[in-house]
Amino acid sequence: MKTVNISEKEKLEGIIKEAKISRSELARLLEVSYKTVYRWLDKSVSPHNAESRRIDELYKEYVDLRGLVKKLKSGLGDPIKILKNSASLRSKFILEMTYNSNAIEGSRMTMGETAAAFKGQKIKGKEMFEVFEAVNHKNALEFLLEEIKPGFNISQEYILKLHSIIMYNFNDKLPGKYRSGYVNLTNTEKKLPSAQEVPLEMRKLISGINNYGKDPIGKVAGDHYAFESIHPFFDGNGRVGRLLMITQLLSKGYPPAIIQIEDRYKYYVALGKGDMGDFKNIVQMICDSIIKGYNLLRKE
């Protein structure tokens, strides 16, 4: 099965269909001429890079990607088996996830340096804690892949174990334990639960985390937002939260969501919109990241 790359033409046609707009209205939205839209749709002319980005933004605004993700899931087979049966794919997945997830949190390690850290090589110009972060994330993903199975149930013990691996060698961050004090989030005015409230909030989250209903992707998006809103640890919340997202998706037969460093700003914006009860952006971002995970699994 081929990897998925949605063409600009397919995106434009999808916007027209889902938004129920004319070509003229589409041209106005994209701030281009009608003739330009005509050339894109009927003459196979490719948009410039900036125009492609705008088309992609508009596509994700108007077209619900859950339908596409559902189709990909049905044709993929069991993603857990794929990852467990192919050492090379598993290695690619672990490297991609580790590099991107740590980079989102501010790591300066490149993809190549991350791969070198996995092999125990010394990384010139990088601090030991950066190397530890890479190796810890790799170990956490390996633990996840050992534990995961279809229908896997997430427990408090599982969450704390992931955190203990992510924060290994960072004893001041209380590996495997909820935070004992207040943490302050930058770029948001949202008030976090107090340390005393964290265990109760986590119990509430875990009590429903394994129930997916009729909209699994929407549920995973809501759970991810809820976990990050609780921010149960002094550090490692983003990394553990994304590992939990992958656990949920794999357990339900979906490809893993790989949120890439270039999408960091969109990711934070999407989480921020959740503060106002708007989860459309985070749902779309997870779908887009699942498509990237699907493409990775289809590379062989």
- For 231, phi then psi, to 5°, come to 50, 65
| 199 inside domain | yes
Determine the pLDDT at residue 187: 62
| Residues 261 and 135 grouped into a single domain | yes
| 261 inside domain | yes
| Residues 31 and 84 grouped into a single domain | no
| Residues 227 and 172 grouped into a single domain | yes
Q: For the chain, how many structural domains are there in total?
A: 2
| 130 inside domain | yes
| Residues 81 and 52 grouped into a single domain | no
| Residues 56 and 90 grouped into a single domain | no
| 257 inside domain | yes
Residue ranges, the chain, pLDDT below 50: 1
Q: How many whole angstroms separate alpha carbon 260 and alpha carbon 257?
A: 9
| 221 inside domain | yes
| Residues 21 and 119 grouped into a single domain | no
Amino acid at position 235, single letter: D
Can you give the residue range of the structural domain that contains 95?
77-297
Buried-state track 51-86, b at ≥16 Cβ within 10 A, e below 16: beebbeebbbebbebbebbeebbeebeebbebbeee
| Residues 10 and 126 grouped into a single domain | no
Determine the pLDDT at residue 299: 73
Query: In this structure, what CATH number is given to the domain that contains residue 102?
Result: 1.10.3290.10
| Residues 54 and 142 grouped into a single domain | no
| Residues 180 and 209 grouped into a single domain | yes
| Residues 28 and 136 grouped into a single domain | no
| 161 inside domain | yes
List pLDDT tens digits, range 132-148: 999 999 999 999 999 99
| 68 inside domain | no
Nearest residue to 284 via CA among 104, 14, 45, 77: 14
| Residues 53 and 83 grouped into a single domain | no
Q: Is 195 strand, coil or helix?
A: coil
| 206 inside domain | yes
Do 271 and 190 contact (CB within 8 A), yes or no?
A: no
User: Residue 74 corresponds to which tokens in the numbers above?
Assistant: 């049905």
Q: In the chain, what is the straight-line distance between the N-terminal and C-terminal CA atoms, in Å?
A: 9
Query: In this structure, what CATH number is given to the domain that contains residue 22?
Result: 1.10.260.40
| Residues 19 and 90 grouped into a single domain | no
Q: How many whole angstroms separate alpha carbon 240 and alpha carbon 252?
A: 19
